[in-house]
Structure 1
């Protein structure tokens, strides 16, 4: 994993994740341009998110069956074409269909994660994953600015067309620059690959543990950000929707923190980073509670709480992914499907909990939801585990061979782990 390759993969993650978020910024422009209501235009975003969830389930496991480069080029190419179709859509129904196809194929970041985990040296895996997560975070933060600014200047179709061109260009660059890896499950039937994430959840205690941590923290993260828009536009602040975007910019600091968190994972193992990140979420919940009072002091509390929460969530995500990818080198894409599906289910539940807590009990209830979710994960993290010889919060380092991980005590221990993907030259491809 050269620095140039890591940078290319991080940029690809940023573009792929950004393609999921920029449509949110142009919804009013879509409504005006197509002559539909804002509620009808929101179907574009809904369809994109539904497509993305389906893509994680249906396409990401194929990373174990096909060469990562081939799969990555395919999903980037299809995503670029879907974005082109959206930019040329003459009416809302074709645009919604193109949005669903865009979401379905915009899974490049989830293909890159297992690919990079196999290519990186074990003692650098955390740092590489942290850099890739920084790219994804940057794409998420900048996408709305990109979509809104370009849409205001050139119309709602412009962001789609520009995103299509960039995505198709990346497909060409990846085809030329990415190394070729050997698939670990080339002969496995597609149906078995789809069912495997559920079996892995049953068989791998460390996978379940990582899924619990990320689902709980991402639920708290979603509860905070979903409720924040209602708080800032409500009677406590009476601000416009753009205030949410300004608060969101403080999350840019997490782009600098995640590579550092990755290096800590490489040095100390994921358990200690999980301990710090979950404690950080509890601290964030305490700080953001004062945001319900309104005024300048309340805004400072919200910004500080948002920063702590974002850094803690991203750092914990690096630790969780490093632990997950170390379990089964022969099934990293299927492990990632299980992990990301649990995380997004947690985020969906958190959005619902946050809105209902705010509307029924006020802003302190949102902070309580965030704290309770983090406390649940932290208690589980610090509870001694009967099936593991390591101390609570200090699992085996991710640099240990897959056959020596604590998860080897599970049902999969009987089968020897397949070797990590082999990088082959272009001539050998």
Structure 2
């Protein structure tokens, strides 16, 4: 169904607005991944023990999950333009606090705020789906989501290069400046005439999210698929540093981060998935992508013998994950147009759980059983996703 308010808003938007949304989303989500290659430097600078410094990543991810559950839904209640700009400015303040941290307490508090506010990305995706024409929604969601995935993949590369040049604090101070610039750009681009929905108590807004998953089976079906594909995604990207930094290869952090560039190629190619969803071929796209995800673990398993094989596997895996992710969002956004922010927040909670499971499982398996065990786990999760899709492929709306 056409959205007159959205049509009026897009009349005043520049033609390249999806690219701005993609850039803003990628920049925002990258903030929660910068710390991973910087833990050693932060530990030395602030005299935090090796056993405690990992808490920086944990705190950031925990508060990101809180943001998904508590903040994204506000997009269905208040003016999204004001919400996005306000969160951008607060995010810049949190990043500056991290960059100027002089104690463990200040660092952890700043990282908690960074994680909480990184959910701007999901508000942007929901807003983009509202502004897009129904026949073009999948392509637009694909573009914006592609920018987010690129932000995730290149965050470690950016952090490594900037830290080599100016130290770990320079990473967060540079992101502060970029975030402020993006807030200014969005304040000029985002439509001012967005219609705000009828007032709804915040507690009822949160309760309605859980009711949506009981009312619409397709939501939890696509949510479980998200959990499984991002378990596989995190299994690769969390543990990849381990075999590449072993004596066999002894690659530097910057060199390892450059492998994210190959993932970007897959993410860009997967924008095609959004167009296929617009054409009503979401079910076929999902099945094909999940089969590709399972196949990707074969070349990845040869990482110890060939970096070329790893590169092929990375492209295939990221292409598959992105294709399913874009298709999932295109489908759920068509369910209840008035609840897109809540649907986004609920869906991304599955993503967050999957990412955490993949991170914990992959590092444990590598430490105790080696790289082949990691690959078998990733392949097993991918096979489970394919089997789950096959069992539920006739779910109403799954062929959208």
Give 1:126's aligned residue.
Answer: 138
Counterpart in the other structure of 1:416 = none
What residue in structure 2 maps to residue 403 of structure 1? Answer: none
Q: CA deviation at 1:234?
A: 4.1
Alpha-carbon distance in structure 2 between the residues aligned to 1:148 and 1:68: 33
What is the match of residue 183 of structure 1?
196
Corresponding residue number in structure 2 for 1:300: 308
Maintained 8 Å contact 1:20/1:106: yes
Question: Counterpart in 1 of 2:6?
Answer: none
Asked if residue 313 in structure 1 is aligned to residue 321 in structure 2, the reply is: yes
Judge which range, 196-205 or 232-241, deviates more: 232-241
Give me the whole-angstrom Cα distance separating, in 2, the residues matched to 1:238 and 1:128. Answer: 40
- Determine whether 1:50 maps to 2:83: no
How does 1:158-307 map onto structure 2 within 5 Å?
158-179=170-191, 180-184=193-197, 186-234=198-246, 237=249, 239-291=251-303, 294-295=304-305, 297=306, 299-307=307-315
For normalisation by structure 2, the TM-score amounts to: 0.89
8 Å CA contact retained: 1:133, 1:258: no
**Structure 1 unmatched runs, 5+:** 398-429
Equivalent-residue separation in structure 2 for 1:339 and 1:118 (angstroms): 17
Q: 1:379: Cα distance to partner? A: 2.3
Larger CA deviation: 273-282 vs 258-267 = 258-267
8 Å Cα contact 1:41/1:92 also seen in 2: no
Deviation at 1:289, TM superposition (A): 2.6
Q: 1:387 to 1:88 in 2, by over 3 A?
A: closer
Pick from 28, 45, 49 the counterpart of residue 16 of structure 1: 28
Contact 1:14 1:136 in 2 (8 A): yes
Match of residue 360 from structure 2: 352
CA contact (8 A) 2:294 2:383 kept: yes
Question: Across the two proteins, how many residue pairs are aligned to each other?
Answer: 387
CA contact (8 A) 1:134 1:254 kept: no
Q: CA deviation at 1:132?
A: 0.7
**Structure of higher CA gyration radius:** 1
* Bigger shift: residues 219-228 or 352-361: 352-361
Partners of 2:255 and 2:167 in 1: CA distance: 23
**What is the Cα deviation at residue 276 of structure 1?**
1.3
Distance 2:46 2:96 in 1: 17
Distance 1:107 1:6 in 2: 18
The answer to whether the 8 A contact 2:42-2:168 is kept is yes
In 1, are the aligned partners of 2:27 and 2:179 still within 8 Å (CA)? yes
The 1-side partners of 2:350 and 2:313 are apart by: 25
Residues 370 and 151 of structure 1: is their aligned pair in 2 closer, same or farther, counting only changes over 3 Å? closer
- Distance (whole Å) between structure 1 residues aligned to residue 120 and residue 326 of structure 2: 18
Q: 2:116 aligns with which of 104, 123, 129?
A: 104
Q: C-alpha displacement at 1:348, in angstroms?
A: 1.3
Question: Is 1:71 aligned to residue 79 of structure 2?
Answer: no
- 1:20 aligns to what SS in structure 2? coil
Deviation at 1:384, TM superposition (A): 5.8
2:379 corresponds to which of 371, 376, 381: 371
In terms of mean alpha carbon deviation, does 69-78 or 378-387 score higher? 378-387
Which 10-residue stretch deviates more, 89-98 or 22-31?
22-31
Q: Distance in 2 between matches of 1:375 and 1:255?
A: 21
Q: Give the superposed CA RMSD.
A: 2.2
Counterpart of 2:341 in structure 1 is 333
